[in-house]
Amino acid sequence: MDLTLKTRLEARLGDYLRGPVYQRRDETEIRIEPDSVPDVLRILRDARDLRFEILADLAGVDTGDVMQVVYHLWSPMTTDWLRIIADGIPRDDPRAPSATFLWTGAEWLEREAYDMFGIVFEGNRDLRRIFMPPDYTSFPLRKDFLLPDDAARSTGAGVRQVELGVRPTGANGDAADDIRRAPAS
């Protein structure tokens, strides 16, 4: 846990932070608005006392209420991993700015987040599905996407509250029905 990193982050990013800087074990976590992602990432990478030069990961998260984009960065100036959570992206129209202007490598990571969650990264030149087939319509890692079988569920009381909802129209269940109805050709 790097306590000086906390003061450095607060000094550099004071206005952008939403909530306190959270530190646990070897991780430091900050929360920001999705709109301020380009500014914050640029400061983090280019400020001389921060120098977070390696984008370790970019992940989408669906909390059931909102979407998040989570960045993990590494810097030679600290012993901590830095986690940036762009929080509060609405689920019905998830949009976030792209990080490709700083890290070209974010392009595929954003494509993956789009493929799995439907988060549209504005500024990504090649935002198309990367794993799922092109004619696929739903977003598999969203919490309202239910697996069609129960075999993968654990024996414990593992079915989560958010997954007990009604299956949305246009989700995987309907596609399976279409395939079943289609004439053999």
Partner 1 sequence: MPPRQPAPRKSKARTTAATDAADAGGRQYASTDDPRIMLDRQVGNLYEPIPPYPPRTEREGEFYTLGDGEMFLNLGPHHPATHGVLRLVLKLSGEQVVDVDPVLGYLHRGVEKICENSDYYHVLDQVDPLEYLSSLFQEWAAVLSFEKLVDVQVPRRAEYIRVLSGELLRIASHTLYMGFLALDLGGLAPILYSFIERDEIVEMLAALTGARMLFNYYRIGGVNGDLNHEFMSRLGDWMSRAAGQTEANATLLNENEIFVRRTRGVGVLDRATALQFGVTGGNLRASGVPFDVRRAHPYSIYPELEFNVPTRDEGDSLARYLIRVDEIRESIKIIDQCLNNMPDGPVMAKLPRLIRPRPGRSWGAVEGPRGMMGVYSISDGSDQPFRFRIHDPSFVNLQTVPALLPGNLLADTMAIVASLDPVLGGIDK
Contacts with partner 1 by CB under 8 A lie at: 24-27, 29, 53-57, 59, 61-62, 70, 72, 74, 76, 79, 81, 83, 102-109, 112, 116, 125-135, 140-141, 145, 147, 152-154, 156-158, 160, 185
Q: Residue 107 Cβ, how far from partner 1 at the closest point, in Å?
A: 7
- Rank residues 17 and 81 by Cβ distance to partner 1 and give the closer one: 81
Q: Residue 89 Cβ, how far from partner 1 at the closest point, in Å?
A: 15
Q: Residue 11 Cβ, how far from partner 1 at the closest point, in Å?
A: 23
Cα angle value 115/117/123 (rounded, 5°): 70
- Rank residues 11 and 63 by Cβ distance to partner 1 and give the closer one: 63
Q: Residue 131 Cβ, how far from partner 1 at the closest point, in Å?
A: 4
Phi, psi of 106, deg, nearest 5? -70, -10
- Rank residues 20 and 131 by Cβ distance to partner 1 and give the closer one: 131
CA dist., res. 140 & res. 143, Å (int): 8
Cβ pair 58, 109 in contact under 8 A: yes
* DSSP codes, 25-81: TTEEEEEE-GGGHHHHHHHHHH-TTT---EEEEEEEEE-SSEEEEEEEEE-TT-SSE
- Rank residues 11 and 56 by Cβ distance to partner 1 and give the closer one: 56
